[in-house]
Amino acid sequence: MPSVGVKIYSVFFKLFLRHRLQSLAAAAAGDPDNAAFGVSCRPDEATAPPNPAFSAAADGVASKDLHIDPNSSLSVRIFLPTPPPPSPHAHLLAHAHPRRASDPTPTTPAPAPANGAPYRGYLPHAVSSPRAAASARRRLPIVVQFHGGGFVTGSNTAAANDAFCRRVAKLCDAIVVAVGYRLAPESRYPAAFDDGVKVLKWIAKQANLAMMTKVGGGVDTFGASTVEPWIAAHGDPARCVLLGASCGANIADYVTRKVVEDGKPFDPVKVVAQVLMYPFFIGSVPTHSEIRLANSYFYDKSTCLLAWRLFLSEKEFNLDHPAANPLAPSRRAPPLKCMPPTLTVIAEHDWMRDRAIAYSEELRKVNVDSPVLDYKDTVHEFATLDVFLKTPQAQACAEDIAIWMKKYISLRGHEFSY
């Protein structure tokens, strides 16, 4: 069973969350002109400031915020782990083969200074040839993360989400792109899902623009000024993983299906795996866990139903809506056998667990690698709520995710080669 502290915290959390949702429901009939732009965070939620300096971050992960869509509030927070120091033989190679004026000037990560001085970013480093430059540059896989909150609360810059993304970036040695999608009821379905698709297309655009800058020996071409250097210089779009927590898992699964259905608009991004953490699935026919754990900790079923009513319009509200039930008969999507490997994380005291298990079982029936990690004495969002971030289960969950993920993001195909 969860600890006494968790139980007490859960009572106050549910009271606060229900009050917030009821307030949002009362104000749902707001200004329709602002619905398109929307909001991606609530003013009463604590946020963590971005930290672009590696030396100032105790965990060695830098972050920065970008507003990537001028027509909406869609934003991302990018997390980049500390780059490794250059090869000790790099200076010998440079002196033995001086760079010619016609050679491009690629960049390699500069190490974080040992004396605690501010990190100055990525410095030019002379190499003997473009081939040597390609081997010297470290490309990191990209993890696109969608936070939870029932589509109506939460933020990609919240302190809890910030800490979780830093942990993932460090353990997986990957760039993490945390998505600040539009929230309901200001922006109802399909706004959050569309934002997930936009972010993946934005990452593809960064990769394509980075390729364009190589034309003419590194001379900038049109559009190069819009390139995000952390993505363009150090991200590998061919090793992309979608990770979603709670309702973020619904978004991740939706975006994955879009990529499977038609990958051309996302090229060169390749989704090699997805991680669904306690997905926010529901259906019209209740499962055993939905009956037994209906009044479970933190996110009980009645509160979640209120969140679904805020996310779906009154006309569209249906517990078997494609956004809510991945196994609904009416859901038009690519065959499950086309889906990438899918890791599902569930909690022992979560009323949504049976629906997540059922989805994973359907994937296994068509030979998709889809294991389930079930954590004892845990509740919904146990690994991403700030009060649980330092618990053994939260740490173990992040480590387990990293171990499984590296099977698909490592360059040689197994976790020990990355």
- Segments making up each domain of the chain, as ranges: 4-81+131-409
Residue 130 has pLDDT above 80, yes or no: no
State how far Cα 328 lies from the chain centre: 25
The one catalytic residue among 350, 354, 360, 370: 350
Q: Is residue 350 annotated as part of the catalytic site, yes or no? A: yes
Angle, nearest 10°, between helix axes 4-26 and 301-311?
30
| Segment among 259-273, 301-315, 324-338 with least mean pLDDT | 324-338
Locate tokens 């997805």: which residue? 274
Per-residue pLDDT tens over the stretch 57-79: 878 999 999 999 999 999 999 99
The DSSP code sequence of 99-168 is: PPTTS---B-PPPPPTT-PPP--PPB---SSHHHHHHHSPPEEEEEEE--STTTS--TTBHHHHHHHHHH
Tokens standing for residue 280: 């926010």
Half-sphere exposure of 376 (CA within 13 A, CB side): 1
Q: Is residue 246 annotated as part of the catalytic site, yes or no? A: yes
DSSP summary character for residue 98: P
Nearest residue to 300 (alpha-carbon basis) of 153, 150, 159, 189: 150
Q: Is residue 195 annotated as part of the catalytic site, yes or no? A: no
For 413, phi and psi rounded to 5 degrees? 95, 5
Mean pLDDT, residues 251-256 taken together: 97
Termini Cα distance of the chain: 37
CATH homologous superfamily of 4-81+131-409 equals Alpha/Beta hydrolase fold, catalytic domain (3.40.50.1820)
- CA torsion, ordered 325, 74, 13, 166, to nearest 10 deg: 100
> pLDDT tier at 132 (50, 70, 90 boundaries)?
very low
The one catalytic residue among 55, 128, 246, 370: 246
Per-residue pLDDT tens over the stretch 134-151: 444 578 999 999 999 999
Given a contact cutoff of 8 angstroms between Cβ atoms, the answer to whether 339 and 256 are in contact is yes
The one catalytic residue among 125, 147, 321, 380: 380
Instruction: Name the region of 158 (left: φ>0; alpha: ψ -120 to 50; beta: rest).
Output: beta
pTM of the model: 0.85
